[in-house]
Amino acid sequence: MVAAMNDLQDLLVDQLKDLYNAEGQLTKALPKMAKAASLPELKQAFEKHLAQTEEHVARLERVFESLGEKAKGKTCHAMKGLIEEGSEAIKEDATDAVRDAALIAAAQRVEHYEIAAYGTVRTFAESLGLKDAANILQKTLDEEGQTDKLLTEIAETCVNQFAEAGAGSEEEA
């Protein structure tokens, strides 16, 4: 049964449930992406983001608690689709460099989704005068932006050049 949404707080809780599920899905996907990455810096970026994602889950739990709500998710179909695309990138018959570039592309789609979602719930929390919740959500939003920038840096400084050169692996280039 779908809960009625009568006001902005109901919508906030609904969106938080979506994010909670999205982050849970991501904690399962990031280890697979790290394993599939050939560039050590990319592996490290995925592993670092896994640790951050686990903290994001804990922060969402604190926000739920501050709202007097039970921390539970509802299926985030957007994240499900984004992770499916990442899984396709892992399975592609591609050189290591091209696979790394595809993994970055998939990961950045995830980051952009999360940036949009966290920006939205942070704004809802601010509108409702929920300053502590808004601050917690902003911290996560900032980390999502930093991860996106790191992925861009990895892509621009080496992965894309290796992929463009058609290198079988980074060591060959």
Confidence grade of residue 3 (pLDDT, cut at 50, 70, 90): low
Number of structural domains (the chain) is 1
Within a domain: residue 122?
Answer: yes
Residue 91: give the domain boundaries.
8-165
State both tokens at 41. Answer: 């810096």
Give the Cα separation of 171 and 100 in Å (integer).
13
Within a domain: residue 71?
Answer: yes
Give the Cα separation of 93 and 168 in Å (integer).
12
Within a domain: residue 12?
Answer: yes
Within a domain: residue 70?
Answer: yes
Angle at alpha carbon of residue 164, lines to 162 and 167, rounded to 5°: 45
CATH classification of the domain holding 76 = 1.20.1260.10
Within a domain: residue 35?
Answer: yes
Within a domain: residue 2?
Answer: no
**CB-CB contact of 144 with 121 (8 Å):** no
Q: Is the pLDDT of residue 119 over 70?
A: yes
Give the Cα separation of 122 and 135 in Å (integer).
8
For a pLDDT cut of 70, what percent of the chain falls above it?
94
Within a domain: residue 44?
Answer: yes
Within a domain: residue 58?
Answer: yes
pLDDT in tens, 61-95: 999 999 999 999 999 999 999 999 999 989 988 99
